[in-house]
C-alpha cells in the first residue's frame, strides 16, 4: 500500500458563531490543508498518482474556499466553519471527485488553522 500526501493552502475569513470569546468576531486565517490518499497499483511511471494531478484535484475544491467569507457558504449555514467542519467538507468533496475515486482512496484531510493547531478528519479506523 502506498500513501501520498500533498499540501495546499488558502486564505479565508470566518467567525465561530456563539463562541465564548474573540473567535466569535470576524477574523481570517492562512489555512494549510494536507490531503492523504492511498492505493496499491502504480502506473507505468511508478506513480500511484502524479502529485501534480493530485494537487490539481485538491485545488478544485480549495478554490471554492479561497478568499471567501466561509460563513456565507451554504455548507456553513447550519454548522460553524470550524477546522473540524472544514476538514470534513474538503474530505467529502474530494471523495466525490471521479478522477480520485477511480484511482485512489482518499484517506484523510488535515486542516491547520495556525502553525500550532490542526484537525484531522477521516472515516476509516486507521
Residues noted as catalytic: 23, 67, 113
C-alpha to C-alpha distance for 81 and 14, rounded to whole angstroms = 7
Longest Cα pair distance anywhere in the chain, in angstroms?
54
Quick one: 43 or 114, whose CB is closer to ligand LPXRUNBV?
114
Query: Whole-angstrom Cα distance, residue 71 to residue 40?
Result: 38
* From candidates 4, 5, 13, 23, binder to ligand LPXRUNBV by CB under 6 A: 23
- In whole angstroms, what is the distance from residue 94 CA to residue 108 CA? 10
6 belongs to the binding site for ligand LPXRUNBV (CB under 6 A)? no
User: How far is it, in rounded angstroms, from Cα 96 to Cα 104?
Assistant: 12
**27 in contact with ligand LPXRUNBV (CB under 6 A):** yes
| 114 is a site residue for ligand LPXRUNBV (CB under 6 A) | yes
14 is in an annotated binding site: yes
Q: Does 113 bind ligand LPXRUNBV (CB under 6 A)?
A: yes
CA distance from start to end of the chain: 13
What does the binding site for ligand LPXRUNBV look like in residue numbers (CB under 6 A)? Answer: 16, 23, 27, 82-84, 113-114, 117
Amino acid at each position: 500500500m502506498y500513501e501520498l500526501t500533498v499540501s495546499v493552502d488558502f486564505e479565508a475569513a470566518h467567525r465561530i458563531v456563539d463562541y465564548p470569546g474573540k473567535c466569535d468576531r470576524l477574523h481570517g486565517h492562512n489555512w494549510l490543508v494536507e490531503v492523504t490518499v492511498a492505493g496499491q497499483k502504480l502506473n507505468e511511471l511508478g506513480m500511484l498518482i502524479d502529485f501534480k494531478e493530485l494537487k490539481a484535484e485538491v485545488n478544485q475544491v480549495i478554490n471554492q474556499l479561497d478568499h471567501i467569507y466561509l460563513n456565507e457558504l451554504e455548507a456553513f449555514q447550519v454548522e460553524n466553519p470550524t477546522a473540524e467542519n472544514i476538514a470534513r467538507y474538503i474530505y467529502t468533496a474530494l471523495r466525490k471527485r471521479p478522477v480520485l475515486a477511480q484511482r485512489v482512496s482518499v484517506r484523510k484531510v488535515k486542516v491547520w488553522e495556525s502553525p500550532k493547531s490542526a484537525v484531522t478528519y477521516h472515516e476509516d479506523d486507521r
